[in-house]
Structure 1
Amino acid sequence: MSDSRPVFFVSDHTGITAELIGKSLLSQFPRQSFSFISLPFIDSEEKAEKVAQRIQTERSHSGLRPLVISTLTQPSLRHCISQTDSLFLDIFPCFLEALETELACPATPALGQAHGMSDLPQYRARMEAVNYALAADDGMATERYGQADLILVGVSRSGKTPTSLYMAMQYGLRVANYPLTSEDLEKSELPDSLQAHRAKLRGLTLSAQRLAQIREERRPNSNYASLATCQQELQIAERMLRAQGIPITNTTQRSIEEIAALLKQSLEPG
């Protein structure tokens, strides 16, 4: 028997939608313990039957009724899995019926619409944004800053690289990032490569304690990771960015999804 309720995310494509919605819903139950199982590309009756067997097996082993969160588009596959001893939550029908009524036309189910290559130009734009983020990472390719949608600025290990890549993948935005060097901090002014693109600049900061913890994992027992160094660098960087009127986002208690959403929002007019 287990204390963690099994949760299956079942999809006929990547399963990203099922997992995102499912985890968002389950986060509203922080006192409950869950074990997550993702089952993407369930696109045949044979695969659906194996999933149904696995759900039943998990039901027996855990002693708890599994939750099944599905974005399957084929009715026969949904029916197969819905017959298991589980709470079967079928996401699409929850919304499609109301949308069909409102739009006065039937939906046309097709697998992989949200996270596939059905919109090839959009897919290519995201891949180009990823390539740009990699090329313009860590202060490289400053001559290409004119192509950027955003340029993230902050001290070393403040979360610039993962945020740049996430925004490229999720939003198709070209995001460069620049680490403020000791020379930049000593001068207490932005380098010339950033001055020409001030409207695109966004600062990232975090608590000195959190920064020291991150740096300690990278360079243990170093001056680079000391709390005093982190405090000093952050104070100078924040003062410099504020003096230039550059918006600053504190990432200490925020997930990468929250950081990216806030930065994207900052691009919107008004």
Structure 2
Amino acid sequence: MNSITTGLFAASSETEPPSARAAFFVSDSTGITAETLGSALLANFPGVPIARQTIPFIDTVDGARAIARDIQEVIGAGGQPIVFATVKSVAILGQLQVPGAVVIDLLSGHLTELEDALGTTRSEQLGQFHGVGDIERYFARMRAVEYAIEHDDGQSRRGLDTADVIIIAPSRCGKTPTTMYLALQYGLLVANYPLTDDDFPTEDLPRTVNAHASKCFGLTTTPLRLSQVRHERRPNSAYSSLAQCTLELRRAEDLYRRNGVRFLNSSTKSVEEMSAVIMQSMHLRS
């Protein structure tokens, strides 16, 4: 494997227990599609520990052979790896078909169906599946990411009237990752605002967002979960204490109810699930 590929491989690997099932996400482009679709399938098996390795830009047979050797090493150690592939080249895909590995081609079946439906054959150009496609849509998403960064954690009041949604919640309830996901995946203009001690006691929403109450969506969680998350950031502090977390969550939920703000509990939901609920509740479209 060349040095560039090795660096990407190492950077995108997750530390997992030795008993975890190895899953390779292999792509001839960025690997985002392979990882997204593969992870969506694996999410249906929450009890199975997975050691994930995303390997992008495998667009040559030699590169695929290098990956095949890594797969063989896992098999040699007694593992049964799963390979999720978004690779258009039959020759490259063939190199990944290592005996003892389960190879799931995430493209071929659907492309064949589309060929039949559209009455034409697929393009052989590598990586075209991952192309920008709609340049205006691409730039809209980039603008949304810039907006999310500017308005993260209540840093800016500028342009809040243009926001599609304003996520409000106590610290560490999942505001920022949800904001960035909605911006990057759907091109939505999302701001978020932290509810702090300075915002209470109050009957109304904080002054910064009160004029935009109809755009607000609240997040909450369980006191224990919030305490655990905060403890990782500030261990043994008043900020992470169970009593403080309980107080902040109770005040936040009371505030949501008084002001008719829709909200959800983030403790057992992924960012993708939270984003879907927010979009549905707020009637948002990408």
**CA-CA distance at 1:205 after TM superposition:** 0.8
**CA-CA distance at 1:220 after TM superposition:** 2.9
Q: What is residue 262 of structure 1 aligned with on the other side?
A: 277
Match of 1:7 among 15, 20, 23: 23
Over the matched positions of the two proteins, sequence identity in percent amounts to 42
Which segment drifts farther, 113-122 or 171-180? 113-122
Q: What is residue 152 of structure 1 aligned with on the other side?
A: 167
Q: Equivalent residue of 1:142, what SS?
A: coil
**CA-CA distance at 1:9 after TM superposition:** 1.7
Q: What is residue 45 of structure 1 aligned with on the other side?
A: 61
1:91-110 superposed Cα distances (whole Å, 9 cap, x missing partner): 21121222222233333344
1:16-68 superposed Cα distances (whole Å, 9 cap, x missing partner): 222222233234344544433222100112212222233223322x2234322
Distance in 1, Cα, partners of 2:177 & 2:45:
28
Query: Is 1:253 paired with 2:268?
Result: yes
Distance in 1, Cα, partners of 2:227 & 2:80:
43
Q: Equivalent residue of 1:20, what SS?
A: helix
Query: Is 1:222 paired with 2:264?
Result: no
User: Is the contact between residue 68 and residue 87 of structure 1 (CA under 8 Å) also seen in structure 2?
Assistant: yes
**CA-CA distance at 1:177 after TM superposition:** 0.7
**CA-CA distance at 1:229 after TM superposition:** 2.2
In structure 2, do the counterparts of structure 1 residues 103 and 59 end up closer, same or farther at CA, with 3 Å as the change threshold?
A: same
Distance in 2, Cα, partners of 1:23 & 1:158:
23
Distance in 2, Cα, partners of 1:262 & 1:107:
35
Q: What is residue 176 of structure 2 aligned with on the other side?
A: 161
User: Is the contact between residue 71 and residue 98 of structure 2 (CA under 8 Å) also seen in structure 1?
Assistant: no
Q: What is residue 196 of structure 2 aligned with on the other side?
A: 181
Q: Equivalent residue of 2:159, what SS?
A: helix
Matches within 5 A, 1:40-119: 40-60=56-76, 62-82=77-97, 84-113=99-128, 115-119=130-134
**CA-CA distance at 1:132 after TM superposition:** 0.8
Q: What is residue 231 of structure 1 aligned with on the other side?
A: 246
Distance in 2, Cα, partners of 1:248 & 1:149:
16
Aligned residues: 267
Distance in 2, Cα, partners of 1:53 & 1:206:
44
Q: Equivalent residue of 2:121, what SS?
A: coil
Which segment drifts farther, 89-98 or 79-88? 79-88
Distance in 2, Cα, partners of 1:190 & 1:127:
30
TM-score, with structure 2 as normaliser: 0.84
**CA-CA distance at 1:185 after TM superposition:** 1.7
In structure 2, do the counterparts of structure 1 residues 178 and 64 end up closer, same or farther at CA, with 3 Å as the change threshold?
A: closer
Q: Equivalent residue of 1:232, what SS?
A: helix
Equivalent residue letter for 2:159: R
User: Is the contact between residue 154 and residue 178 of structure 1 (CA under 8 Å) also seen in structure 2?
Assistant: yes
**CA-CA distance at 1:199 after TM superposition:** 1.7
1:125-168 superposed Cα distances (whole Å, 9 cap, x missing partner): 22211111111111122131012111011122222122111221
Q: Equivalent residue of 1:82, what SS?
A: coil
Equivalent residue letter for 2:142: M
Distance in 1, Cα, partners of 2:170 & 2:208:
16
Q: What is residue 256 of structure 2 aligned with on the other side?
A: 241
In structure 2, do the counterparts of structure 1 residues 235 and 171 end up closer, same or farther at CA, with 3 Å as the change threshold?
A: same
Gaps in structure 2 of 5+ consecutive residues: 1-17
User: Is the contact between residue 55 and residue 84 of structure 1 (CA under 8 Å) also seen in structure 2?
Assistant: no
Which segment drifts farther, 67-76 or 187-196? 187-196
Equivalent residue letter for 2:270: S
**CA-CA distance at 1:213 after TM superposition:** 2.1
Which segment drifts farther, 111-120 or 153-162? 111-120
Gaps in structure 1 of 5+ consecutive residues: none
Query: Is 1:132 paired with 2:147?
Result: yes
